[in-house]
Structure 1
Amino acid sequence: MDLVTQILTLLIGFALFAYYLLHRRFTYWERRNVPHIKPEFIHGNSRGIGKDFSSGTFFKNMYSKLKGKGPLVGVYVSVMPMAIATDLDLIKTILVKDFDVFTNRGLYYNKEDDPTSAHLASVEDEEWKSLRNKITPTFTSGKMKMMFPIIVDVADRMVKAIAVEFNQGESVEIKDVASRFTTDVIAEVAFGIECHSLEDKHSKLYKMGQKSFGDVSFWKRTLTGAYPDLARKLHVTTSNKEVVQFFENVIQQNIKYRQENNIQRNDFMSLLIKMMNESTLNYFEALAQSFVFFLAGYETSASTMTFCIYELAQHPEIQQKARESVIKVLEKHDGKFTYEAIADMQFVEQCVKEALRIHSPASGTRRIAKRDYKVPNTDIVIEKGMSVIIPANGIHFDPDIYPDPYKYNPDRFAPEEVAKRHNFSFLPFGEGPRVCIGERFAIVEIKLALAKILTNYEFTLDHSKTPVPLEYLVNRLLLTPSTGINIFVNKL
């Protein structure tokens, strides 16, 4: 056999073996009798993901197509089989009852090359449990009440910032204002830093917050998502290095100043310093928690606030009802924006939750099976290491749960309506032991901001700059409009 024949034989053999492996991969769900959509070769079910549509839209569409065919269905993201839980009882079981099997989210982190990535949202197992127990005291009602006057002060500055923007004769880009508001809130209540981005759009902290949510290359997302151990060996990081360096300097200086001057505050940074002094947290762990606290509090709260204003700007009758409800509550609280007054603003909370249903910043959550798991009342076994997607976006647009799902209707979240639905039919913050730790803080912050805006301004959408319906970037992890959201305001 000559050399050419040998090479051809090897190539053919390799091609046949590769085809066999791919065929096995693409028949994964078929061989397990799990409902699925037949995959395309190489692309699976996900052709166009990240180019024509987002991953959130992909899982929403898969949920819609496969819902009702079984409590668990299968999809292929390229060559990777993934499971989607479509039954709300199963979702509750995964997130709560059998949480010990589905503790981990499968978010990539690389503690060695980027310590800021090893934060509460990403770390796993006992490390997560330990961190959660340490950080939970930050978010008690008592702590939030102590922080509340600071948030009120920032909200008052936001009202003035809107006036400055509108007095220049243009409509107000509300996402920009909302982002500067949440930047200043987090900077002050968490770290005791007065960055005044509401007064100065060029604030360094605000600019770094914007940069932190830029694009991550497709190859990095693919490698870190599918092969995290290999990515760590290759020293792959996904954080913006400039942002990490800036934030590390800010936190380092903050810690040093407080320790040297024996400064004690009722904020997140003081809690971290206390744990460092007690040796229950090292510096890099404290840095990582600070980093994610800022990023999570900055972007998702600003987005939710923006989407709610976008909806209210299109529905003047709902906007007026919300305004009247705020005024009525304030009359019961001597006209003061107290913590208790904000808690009483039920209809404003309904407006926020309906905006979260339609425009969830995170489209869902993922859990990784820590061992083989038999789905209750079925013969299906979720194998160890399998990703299970909880498709919040799909659930939120399910017409069997929310009739006319694309219509903005805050009455869906009236207490009597909520009581009629499954308690796992609304999942913008996740659920179970790993529910978003800042959920209550975010709701209070957003309600206060909206109440301040509603009592100072009427607002309508600037249709020349804001599309209806909104269009979104397809290559972002969080829901991000492709344009600004502009409103005209009228001082009351």
Structure 2
Amino acid sequence: MDAISACAYGINPGSINNLDHPIVTHAKRMLSEVGGFRILLLLLAPWLAKLLKVELFDTNSVDYFDELTKQILKERKAMRKHLGVQCKCVSVFISHHIHYHIFIAKRRTDFIQLMIDSEKSDNDLGYNNNIDGEPDPESTDTATKRPTNGKMTADEMAAQGIAFFFAGFDTTAAALTHAIFYLSVHPECQQILYDELKTCEDFTYETLVHLKYLNAVINETLRLTPSITRMQRECLQDYNLGNTGITIPKGASVEIYPYAIHQDPDYWPNPNDFLPDRWFKPSHHPCAYLPFGGGPRICVGQRFAISVMRVCLAKLIYKFEFTLAQTHKLEYYLCNPVMSPKKLQ
């Protein structure tokens, strides 16, 4: 959570030692088991969800992250206007609610800042935008709800910040948990990975991207237990499903379950076994491996998620040896859209 929060908002909540931090509490509330039931109800009986006024996420928590993002935008805009530099800063709202100091004159490189920089670049080319120009991002005028020359409104930036945070938090955490679990069950694999990491002088992106066994462990983890349980696509034209006599009509919703595909012995020999070595000479069909989806709507955060996993896993395995306290079977929360295992010991 600390990593994704820092990358999204430029804020490190110290979640391990500060469980009462507002970012931590609101994130857990939005990703709770109750949230899974909400999703199930919205998918299976949308009419009932509408009747009961069921929202996808806890509205109070959504409002918190929405306000957090908008206040960051407001403060960075103000700093840039008054100081003429990109600054690292947090607002009075943030200072009051999450006990952070205000930092000045250090340029941020988080997701929010990237969106601000994008707007600024467009403004330099002569476009109007919503950060430095009119309409003002804090305005409640309905004009801010509409795109201006294709640029993002404050509400859209807030939505993107929330999407970035939650798309990268629970999924990556689940993948790392599974990786540690498999390495604990297979100490010989953990030792091979440790030996590979010992050869590194540092754990920079340039170093980690070339570590064959580390990347093989990550790929095999995501094959055995992909973080996302299902994907949905719309059929663009009538499609005859092989020799089954079944035709999927244009406009039909198609459910895709990566876990089932990843366990198919037709594509993966010994599909239930944790075998990182299989990735040294992969020969599978490209659509038989879908931890991030595929096609034009493949997960845009794929490389970011893999980079986070490389760094975290490398540092953990280099410093610690992991074992299970007892024979442990993975158990999961019901209706959770993410394969998040329950607590391991």
Provide closer, same or farther for how the CA distance between residues 218 and 342 of structure 1 changes in structure 2, counting only shifts above 3 A. Answer: closer
Equivalent pair of 1:398/1:405 in contact (CA under 8 Å)? yes
Q: Does 1:338 align with 2:180?
A: no
* 1:186-239 deviations in Å (ceiling 9; x for gaps): 222222113222342332212222111123478854553256588668754211
* 1:338-393 deviations in Å (ceiling 9; x for gaps): 210111112111111111111111123111235x5133766643224422122211
Q: Does 1:293 align with 2:198?
A: no
* 1:158-196 deviations in Å (ceiling 9; x for gaps): xxxxxxxxxxxxxxxxxxxxxxxxx11122222211322
Within the candidate set 447, 459, 482, 2:310 is matched to 447
Provide closer, same or farther for how the CA distance between residues 384 and 450 of structure 1 changes in structure 2, counting only shifts above 3 A. Answer: same
Within the candidate set 258, 269, 288, 1:425 is matched to 288
Q: Distance in 2 between matches of 1:421 and 1:437?
A: 22
- Which residue number corresponds to residue 189 of structure 1? 7
Provide closer, same or farther for how the CA distance between residues 398 and 207 of structure 1 changes in structure 2, counting only shifts above 3 A. Answer: same
Q: Distance in 1 between matches of 2:249 and 2:224?
A: 33
Within the candidate set 194, 197, 201, 1:323 is matched to 194
Q: Which runs of 5+ in 2 are unaligned?
A: 81-86, 88-106, 120-129, 134-147
Q: CA deviation at 1:320?
A: 0.4
Equivalent pair of 1:375/1:381 in contact (CA under 8 Å)? yes
Q: Distance in 2 between matches of 1:292 and 1:423?
A: 27
Q: Kindly report which structure 2 residues correspond to 1:350-389, keeping only aligned pairs within 5 A, or say none.
A: 350-369=216-235, 372-375=237-240, 380-389=246-255
Q: Distance in 2 between matches of 1:369 and 1:227?
A: 22
Provide closer, same or farther for how the CA distance between residues 215 and 197 of structure 1 changes in structure 2, counting only shifts above 3 A. Answer: closer
Structure 2 SS opposite 1:424:
helix
Q: Distance in 1 between matches of 2:194 and 2:295?
A: 33
Q: Distance in 2 between matches of 1:471 and 1:218?
A: 15
Q: Distance in 2 between matches of 1:342 and 1:238?
A: 37
- Which residue number corresponds to residue 324 of structure 2? 461
- Which residue number corresponds to residue 269 of structure 1? 112
- Which residue number corresponds to residue 57 of structure 2? 239
Give me the TM-score of the superposition, normalised by structure 1.
0.55
Q: Distance in 1 between matches of 2:253 and 2:289?
A: 21
Give me the TM-score of the superposition, normalised by structure 2.
0.77
Equivalent pair of 1:364/1:428 in contact (CA under 8 Å)? no
Structure 2 SS opposite 1:459:
coil
Of structures 1 and 2, the one scoring higher in RCO (CA 8 A, sep 6+) is 1
* 1:262-308 deviations in Å (ceiling 9; x for gaps): 13533210232343437401122111111111011111111101100
Within the candidate set 56, 66, 77, 1:248 is matched to 66
Structure 2 SS opposite 1:297:
helix
Q: Distance in 2 between matches of 1:442 and 1:217?
A: 23
Q: How many aligned residue pairs are there?
A: 291
Q: Distance in 2 between matches of 1:223 and 1:459?
A: 38
Structure 1 SS opposite 2:286:
coil
- Which residue number corresponds to residue 304 of structure 1? 175
Q: Kindly report which structure 2 residues correspond to 1:466-481, keeping only aligned pairs within 5 A, or say none.
A: 468-481=328-341
- Which residue number corresponds to residue 344 of structure 2? 485
Provide closer, same or farther for how the CA distance between residues 220 and 312 of structure 1 changes in structure 2, counting only shifts above 3 A. Answer: closer
Q: Distance in 2 between matches of 1:409 and 1:327?
A: 21
Aligned-partner residue type, residue 337 of structure 2: L
Equivalent pair of 1:216/1:238 in contact (CA under 8 Å)? no
Aligned-partner residue type, residue 228 of structure 2: A
* 1:85-106 deviations in Å (ceiling 9; x for gaps): xxxxxxxxxxxxxxxxxxxxxx
- Which residue number corresponds to residue 19 of structure 1? none
* 1:386-444 deviations in Å (ceiling 9; x for gaps): 22122211111112222222211111211x1x1x2211111110011111111111111
Q: Which runs of 5+ in 1 are unaligned?
A: 1-182, 487-492
Q: Which has the larger radius of gyration?
A: 1
- Which residue number corresponds to residue 120 of structure 1? none
- Which residue number corresponds to residue 154 of structure 2? 283
- Which residue number corresponds to residue 112 of structure 1? none
Aligned-partner residue type, residue 484 of structure 1: K
Aligned-partner residue type, residue 297 of structure 1: G
Identity across the alignment (%): 31
* 1:137-166 deviations in Å (ceiling 9; x for gaps): xxxxxxxxxxxxxxxxxxxxxxxxxxxxxx
Within the candidate set 17, 29, 43, 1:225 is matched to 43
For the aligned residue pairs, the C-alpha RMSD in angstroms reads 2.4
Could you say which structure has the higher strand fraction?
A: 1
Equivalent pair of 2:3/2:12 in contact (CA under 8 Å)? no
Structure 2 SS opposite 1:460:
coil
* 1:433-479 deviations in Å (ceiling 9; x for gaps): 1111111111111111111111111121111xxx5331222221211
